[in-house]
C-alpha cells in the first residue's frame, strides 16, 4: 500500500540479511527471489561489486523501481523465465549460483501464493545453494499464557484500537505467541491494515522443507534460530519486558547441494587405528 514505507522497513536489517555471503564460496551469481525494489541487491553489490546479482519479483512496479536504480552487474526481472536465461547468457551454471529468499516465505504462505513458481525457479536454475532468512515462531511451549502484568503493560503502551485489530485477526495477546507477533509489527502503522492481517508465523519448517528439499538433494550448511537484537532491545526499552530465551522469532538457513562422488569423513577408520609416520 505504501512502497516507500515498506522498502524502508526492509532496509533496516540489511546486515542480518547479508549473513550468507561468506558462506557460499562457490557462488558467482546471487538470485534474490522477492527482491522488491532491489535494496538488498544494491547493498550486496556495494560489498561485492564484481559478483553478479539478479533480482526477481512478481510486482512490476517494484521491478521498475529497481531498474531505475540499476548498477553494473545487477539485473531485475518480473518474468521468471528471464532469470535462468540471464544466467545462461552469462555462462554461469547452477553450480556457481545461490538463490536467496529473504523475508519471502511468510508472505508466500500467508497469501497462498503459487508455490510452484518457487519450485520452477529452483528447477530451472538448479543452484548450488538455497538461502533463507525469515520469521518463524519457535518454542517448545506454543500455548504459553503471559502474566497479567505483562499484558497490562502492553495494553497501556499501545493504542486500544491497534490491539483490538490484532486480536480480531489473530486471537488474544494473552497467548505469548500472539503477543510476540504483535510486538513484531506494532510499529508498522503506515501500512497497518495490510501488516495487521498478515501472518508472520504462517508456516512451519516442515512446510518449508516440502518446498525446498522434498527430494533431499540439499544438505544443511547453516541453521540458526534467534530473536533479532533490535527487536529484543525494543521490547525491553518500550515495554520493560525481558524476552528471555524460551522462544525465537527468526531463522537463517543455508542448504547446499549434495555433490556426487564425495567421500565422507563420517565413514571408515577405527578409532584404535594409528597413523604410521
Kindly indicate the confidence band of residue 272, based on its pLDDT and cuts at 50, 70 and 90.
Answer: low
What would the grid cell of residue 193 be?
491494515
Residue with cell 562422488: 261
Q: Among residues 25, 17, 22, 48, which one has the least CA distance to residue 95?
A: 25
Of 151 and 261, which is predicted with more confidence? Answer: 151
Rounded distance, CA 104 to CA 107, Å? Answer: 6
What the chain holds in terms of domains, given with CATH numbers, is 3-257 (3.40.50.150)
User: For helices 148-157 and 229-239, what crossing angle results, to 10°?
Assistant: 90
Q: What would the pLDDT profile of 153-207 be if each residue is shown by its tens digit?
A: 999 999 999 999 999 999 999 999 999 999 999 999 988 999 999 999 999 999 9
CA 131, 136, 141, 147 dihedral sign is positive
* Residue 114 pLDDT > 90: no
Mean per-residue pLDDT for 251-271?
81
pTM: 0.90
Give the pLDDT score at 91.
98
C-alpha cell at 209: 522443507
Which DSSP string do the residues of 186-230 spell out, in sequence order?
Answer: TT--TTHHHHHHS-TT---HHHHHHHH-TT--EEEEEEEEE--HH
Q: How far apart are CA 192 and CA 162, in angstroms?
A: 9
Amino acid at each position: 500500500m505504501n512502497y516507500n514505507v515498506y522498502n524502508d522497513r526492509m532496509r533496516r536489517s540489511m546486515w542480518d540479511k547479508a549473513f550468507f555471503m561468506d558462506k557460499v564460496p562457490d557462488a558467482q551469481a546471487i538470485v534474490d527471489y522477492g527482491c522488491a525494489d532491489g535494496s538488498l541487491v544494491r547493498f550486496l553489490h556495494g560489498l561485492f561489486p564484481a559478483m553478479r546479482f539478479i533480482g526477481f519479483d512478481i510486482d512490476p512496479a517494484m521491478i521498475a523501481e529497481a531498474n531505475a536504480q540499476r548498477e553494473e552487474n545487477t539485473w531485475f526481472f518480473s518474468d521468471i523465465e528471464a532469470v535462468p536465461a540471464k544466467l545462461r547468457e552469462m555462462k554461469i551454471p547452477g553450480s556457481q549460483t545461490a538463490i536467496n529468499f529473504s523475508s519471502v516465505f511468510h508472505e508466500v504462505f500467508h497469501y497462498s501464493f503459487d508455490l510452484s513458481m518457487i519450485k520452477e525457479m529452483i528447477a530451472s536454475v538448479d543452484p548450488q545453494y538455497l538461502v533463507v532468512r525469515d520469521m518463524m515462531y519457535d518454542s517448545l511451549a506454543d500455548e504459553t499464557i503471559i502474566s497479567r502484568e505483562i499484558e497490562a503493560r502492553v495494553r497501556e503502551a499501545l493504542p486500544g484500537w491497534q490491539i483490538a485489530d490484532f486480536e480480531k485477526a489473530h486471537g488474544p495477546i494473552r497467548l505469548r505467541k500472539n503477543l510476540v507477533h504483535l510486538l513484531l509489527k506494532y510499529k508498522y502503522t503506515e501500512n497497518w491494515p495490510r501488516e495487521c492481517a498478515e501472518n508472520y508465523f504462517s508456516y512451519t519448517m516442515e512446510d518449508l522443507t516440502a518446498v525446498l528439499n522434498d527430494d533431499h538433494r540439499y544438505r544443511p550448511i547453516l541453521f540458526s534460530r534467534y530473536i533479532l537484537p533490535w527487536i529484543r532491545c525494543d521490547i525491553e526499552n518500550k515495554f520493560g519486558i525481558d524476552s528471555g530465551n524460551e522462544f525465537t522469532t527468526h531463522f537463517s538457513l543455508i542448504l547446499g547441494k549434495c555433490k556426487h562422488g564425495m567421500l565422507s569423513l563420517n565413514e571408515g577408520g577405527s578409532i584404535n587405528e594409528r597413523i604410521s609416520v
